[in-house]
Structure 1
Amino acid sequence: MIGTPFQQDVLRRLSTLGPVYIVGGAVRDVQLGIPLKDVDAVTAIPFHQIEKNLSDWGYTPHVIGDHQPTISLFRDKARIDISLLAGNVEADALRRDFTINAIYQDVRTGEIKDPLEGLQALSQRMLRACGRAEERFQEDPLRILRLIRLAIRYDFLIEQDTWRAANENLTLLKSVALERVSEELGRILVLDQVDRALGLLDDLHYIEEYIPELYRLKGLEQNKFHTKDAWDHTRHVVKNAPPQVLLRLAALFHDLGKWETASRECHAWGTVTRTDEGYYLDKFQLFGKDIERWTNKEVEIHGGRLDNRQDTIVIKRIKPLKSRPEVPFQWVVNGKRHFLQHEKDSARLVKELLSRFRWSVVLPGGKKGEQELLYLVGHHMLGTLTFINEMRGERDNPKINGKARRFAWQVGWDGQYYKTQKVENLLDLWKADFLGGKQDAEKNLYRLDWIQREIRRESADLEERGRLLDWGFFERFACSKGLAGQHYGQFKEHVRKHVMLNTKNTLTDLRFLEQEYKFFSKLPLKNSLDPKARAASSTGVNPWHREAAKPTSQCGKA
Structure 2
Amino acid sequence: MAEKEDKLKLLASLIKPYATLYEVGGAVRDELLGIERFDIDVCSKLRVEDVKKILLNTDFVVSDKNLRMGTVHISWGKFVCEYTTFRTDSYDSASGEHTPKDVAFTTDMSLDARRRDFKCNALYKDVETGEIVDLLGGIADVKNKIISTADEPSIVFEADGLRVLRMVRFAAELGFEVEKNTFETARKNAWRVKDLAVERVRDEFEKILVADTKHKELGLKNAHIRGIEMLDELGILDMLLPELATLKGVEQPKKYHLYDAFNHSLKACEYA
Q: Residues 4 and 84 from structure 1, CA distance in 2 versus in 1: closer, same or farther, beyond 3 angstroms? A: same
CA RMSD in angstroms comes to 2.2
Instruction: State the partner residue of 2:169.
Output: 149
C-alpha separation between the residues in 2 aligned to 1:110 and 1:4? 11
Identity of aligned residues (%): 32
Shift of 1:198: 0.7
SS of equivalent to 1:13 = helix
Q: Residues 173 and 149 from structure 1, CA distance in 2 versus in 1: closer, same or farther, beyond 3 angstroms? A: same
Instruction: State the partner residue of 2:266.
Output: 235
Listed as ranges, the matches of 1:36-47 within 5 Å are: 36-47=37-48
Q: What one-letter code is carried by the residue in structure 1 that aligns with 2:179? A: E
Q: For 2:256, which of 219, 225, 244 is the aligned residue? A: 225
Instruction: State the partner residue of 2:148.
Output: 128
Extract unaligned runs of 5+ from structure 2: 88-105, 213-222
Instruction: State the partner residue of 1:62.
Output: 63
Contact residue 147 and residue 176 of structure 2 kept, 8 A:
yes
1:214 equivalenced with 2:244 (yes/no): yes
Extract unaligned runs of 5+ from structure 1: 242-558
Shift of 1:159: 0.6
Listed as ranges, the matches of 1:337-356 within 5 Å are: none
Shift of 1:46: 1.8
SS of equivalent to 2:61 = coil
Instruction: State the partner residue of 1:176.
Output: 196
SS of equivalent to 2:83 = strand
Instruction: State the partner residue of 1:164.
Output: 184
C-alpha separation between the residues in 1 aligned to 2:267 and 2:182? 28
C-alpha separation between the residues in 2 aligned to 1:66 and 1:169? 30
C-alpha separation between the residues in 2 aligned to 1:158 and 1:27? 19
1:97 equivalenced with 2:131 (yes/no): no
C-alpha separation between the residues in 2 aligned to 1:182 and 1:69? 26
Q: What one-letter code is carried by the residue in structure 1 that aligns with 2:261? A: A
Instruction: State the partner residue of 1:115.
Output: 135
Q: Residues 78 and 215 from structure 1, CA distance in 2 versus in 1: closer, same or farther, beyond 3 angstroms? A: farther
Contact residue 106 and residue 112 of structure 1 kept, 8 A:
yes
SS of equivalent to 1:104 = strand
Shift of 1:199: 0.7
C-alpha separation between the residues in 2 aligned to 1:75 and 1:199? 42
Listed as ranges, the matches of 1:38-437 within 5 Å are: 38-65=39-66, 67-74=68-75, 78-86=79-87, 87=106, 88-192=108-212, 193-223=223-253, 224-241=255-272
Instruction: State the partner residue of 1:23.
Output: 24
C-alpha separation between the residues in 2 aligned to 1:55 and 1:106? 23
Q: Residues 183 and 118 from structure 1, CA distance in 2 versus in 1: closer, same or farther, beyond 3 angstroms? A: same
Instruction: State the partner residue of 1:6.
Output: 7
Contact residue 7 and residue 39 of structure 1 kept, 8 A:
no
C-alpha separation between the residues in 2 aligned to 1:98 and 1:195? 22
Shift of 1:128: 0.5
Shift of 1:221: 1.9
Q: Residues 204 and 77 from structure 1, CA distance in 2 versus in 1: closer, same or farther, beyond 3 angstroms? A: farther
Q: Which moved more, 1:49-58 or 1:22-31?
A: 49-58
Deviations 1:227-258, CA, capped at 9 Å, x for gaps: 322211221222211xxxxxxxxxxxxxxxxx
Q: Residues 55 and 179 from structure 1, CA distance in 2 versus in 1: closer, same or farther, beyond 3 angstroms? A: farther
Contact residue 99 and residue 121 of structure 1 kept, 8 A:
yes
Shift of 1:75: 5.5
Deviations 1:368-421, CA, capped at 9 Å, x for gaps: xxxxxxxxxxxxxxxxxxxxxxxxxxxxxxxxxxxxxxxxxxxxxxxxxxxxxx
Instruction: State the partner residue of 1:300.
Output: none
Q: What one-letter code is carried by the residue in structure 2 that aligns with 1:62? A: S
C-alpha separation between the residues in 1 aligned to 2:203 and 2:55? 30
C-alpha separation between the residues in 1 aligned to 2:157 and 2:137? 20
Contact residue 51 and residue 71 of structure 1 kept, 8 A:
no
Q: What one-letter code is carried by the residue in structure 1 that aligns with 2:82? A: D
Deviations 1:446-477, CA, capped at 9 Å, x for gaps: xxxxxxxxxxxxxxxxxxxxxxxxxxxxxxxx
Contact residue 4 and residue 78 of structure 1 kept, 8 A:
no
TM-score, normalized by length of structure 1? 0.41
C-alpha separation between the residues in 2 aligned to 1:74 and 1:219? 53
Shift of 1:108: 3.8
Contact residue 12 and residue 20 of structure 2 kept, 8 A:
no
C-alpha separation between the residues in 1 aligned to 2:167 and 2:179? 11
Shift of 1:37: 2.9
Deviations 1:282-304, CA, capped at 9 Å, x for gaps: xxxxxxxxxxxxxxxxxxxxxxx
C-alpha separation between the residues in 2 aligned to 1:33 and 1:239? 26
SS of equivalent to 1:56 = coil
Contact residue 37 and residue 79 of structure 1 kept, 8 A:
no
Q: What one-letter code is carried by the residue in structure 2 that aligns with 1:233? A: H
SS of equivalent to 2:69 = coil
Contact residue 7 and residue 79 of structure 1 kept, 8 A:
no
SS of equivalent to 1:151 = helix
